[in-house]
Amino acid sequence: MEQHERGYTRRDLVGRAAGLALPAIIPAHVIGRRGRPGANDQIRIGVIGTGGMGRHHVAPDTAAICDVDDGHLADARKRITRGEPFVTKDFRRLLDREDIDAVIIAAPDHWHALMTVMACQAGKHVMSEKPTSKTIAEGRAMVEAARKYHRVVQIHAQGRSNPVAHAACTFVRNGGIGRIQRVDVWHPVNFTTTSWGEEQPIPAGLDWDLWLGPLRRMPYHPERCHFNFRWLMDSGGGFIRDRGNHALSIVSWLTNNDGYRGRVTCEAKGTPHLSGFFDTPATLDVVWTFEKPRWTLTWSQPGKPNPRFPGDWGATYTGDRDDLVVLGGDGGCDTEDKAKRFTVPSGGIEIYKSPGHRENWLDCIRTGKRPVMDVEIGHHVVTLCNLGNIAWRLGRAVTFDLRRERFVGDEEADRLIAEPYRAPWTLKV
């Protein structure tokens, strides 16, 4: 695949002759010029990655589908009942289509950043599955691409569109528990395996090389592939990056820390797997300490549910007057009645209520506004998750400057901000 020194052109995306081309422009009559709705409400969507969570993104009118697994493609095709979709195994061919306005990215985690940047360059708006990115540098590139190409990029950490999470946010942000002192998140342990990942035959219909993409070359094994990629640091990073992008999104929202740009110190302790080739820690405890104002966030894996309002995973928010338990943080969420019954007093803080995560994204494409889980918020949140893994990998505390997006006096940690891609893949905005 040919490349241009300033990144991928639209022709480069499908391996044609190199040449500088402008990003695709969505016709004004479809979604309007920047910030203004168009006359036609139809936004033609392509879905990249149709297994796992991707199945839920394929709607009856989806205009294009892409997956490296023929089985996933066949299943997705059955879900489309309105019109004949474009079908491909290579996402670059989908991005090259002028008739696709927006894409939903549900490929494995190691693809989220690269596909988002390339989609923005191709003139597409994006909703990308969580986690936002695999590295801190990837997240920053996603933000820069969204801004440079004037694309709406929503991260599918859909808890911010959950009405119960909205009630909890309204309660906490209006002083329901007083000034927040700490938030304690609990979660089950990472998955384990007894396999050592010996090479297995690649299933018919699976393009393993394209599944790997920018990852280092690895032999095929089913526990490296669909779903189980989460338990490898290269491709997943464990629950703290996977489910943590949900949990910490809710934490950042309720504590009003989306825009926090100070310093945070992170410590992590975990137990490596005792057998098998999964290399994320089986158990993990992380502590983040924020400055100005000073408060503490913890992640305990396994953690003990709050006995007053127990659940599989969730968080206890402790203020100087009261506390509140919030369970979950993705599509499912629950909280205590005191938050559900709360009404905003006169002059209180009204929190924007999303009509639904997909609906909010589409509305923002039409209006030019930023979505409820804008890519910059997603980058901020997953940076905290990545700090936990970096502290664990280094075996010591690290201090990170969120404004500069660099570690404080720590060249060893700075080297983990970005990771190399396998040729010919590169990440350039």
Q: Which residues pair with 285 in a beta bridge?
A: 269, 300
Is the per-residue pLDDT at 35 higher than 80? no
C-alpha pair distances (Å), 346 with each of 238, 258, 296, 336: 44, 25, 31, 23
User: Which residue would you say has higher pLDDT here, 172 or 32?
Assistant: 172
Q: Which pLDDT score, from 0 to 100, does residue 331 have?
A: 87
The distance of Cα 140 from the centroid of its chain, to the nearest Å, equals: 13
Ranking 32-36, 64-68, 308-312, 345-349 by mean pLDDT, the lowest is 32-36
Q: Region 150-165: what's the mean pLDDT?
A: 98
Hey, is 237 helix, strand or coil? coil
Percent of the chain with pLDDT over 90: 89
| φ, ψ for residue 399, nearest 5 deg | -120, 130
Q: Check: CB of residue 80 under 8 Å from CB of residue 58.
A: yes
Hey, is 109 helix, strand or coil? helix
Dihedral sign, CA of 228, 230, 236, 238?
Answer: negative
- State both tokens at 310: 């127990």
Residue 132 DSSP code: S
Place of tokens 């059955």: 78
Q: Which pLDDT score, from 0 to 100, does residue 310 have?
A: 95
Q: Which CATH number fits domain 12-159: 3.20.20.70, 3.40.50.720, 3.10.450.50, 3.40.50.970?
A: 3.40.50.720
In CATH, 163-195+204-346+375-414 is 3.30.360.10: yes
Q: How far apart are CA 330 and CA 313, in angstroms?
A: 11
Q: How far apart are CA 29 and CA 41, in angstroms?
A: 9
Quick one: pLDDT band at residue 41, thresholds 50, 70, 90?
low
The domain ranges of the chain are: 12-159, 163-195+204-346+375-414
Is the per-residue pLDDT at 98 higher than 60? yes
Residue-wise pLDDT for 48-65, tens only, equals 999 999 999 999 999 999
What contacts 396, CB < 8 A, 6 or more positions away?
Answer: 267
Name the nearest CA neighbour of 221 among 160, 82, 231, 143: 231
Q: Check: CB of residue 167 under 8 Å from CB of residue 160.
A: no
Q: Which pLDDT score, from 0 to 100, does residue 252 have?
A: 98
What contacts 411, CB < 8 A, 6 or more positions away?
Answer: none
Amino acid at 81: T
Domains 12-159 and 163-195+204-346+375-414 share a fold: no
Q: Check: CB of residue 318 under 8 Å from CB of residue 181.
A: yes
| Alpha helices by DSSP H, 149-276 | 163-173, 208-212, 239-242, 244-254
Is the per-residue pLDDT at 268 higher than 50? yes
Residue-wise pLDDT for 210-248, tens only, equals 999 999 999 999 999 999 999 999 999 999 999 999 999
Residue-wise pLDDT for 326-349, tens only, equals 999 998 999 999 999 999 999 999
Is the per-residue pLDDT at 92 higher than 80? yes
Q: Which pLDDT score, from 0 to 100, does residue 147 have?
A: 98
Average pLDDT over the chain reads 91
Quick one: pLDDT band at residue 274, thresholds 50, 70, 90?
confident
Q: Region 87-92: what's the mean pLDDT?
A: 98
- State both tokens at 26: 């969505």
Q: How far apart are CA 147 and CA 162, in angstroms?
A: 26
- State both tokens at 403: 């404004």
Residue-wise pLDDT for 61-84, tens only, equals 999 999 999 999 999 999 999 999
Q: Region 113-118: what's the mean pLDDT?
A: 98
Q: Region 284-309: what's the mean pLDDT?
A: 96
- State both tokens at 36: 């203004």
Q: How far apart are CA 48 and CA 52, in angstroms?
A: 12
Q: Which pLDDT score, from 0 to 100, does residue 390 have?
A: 98
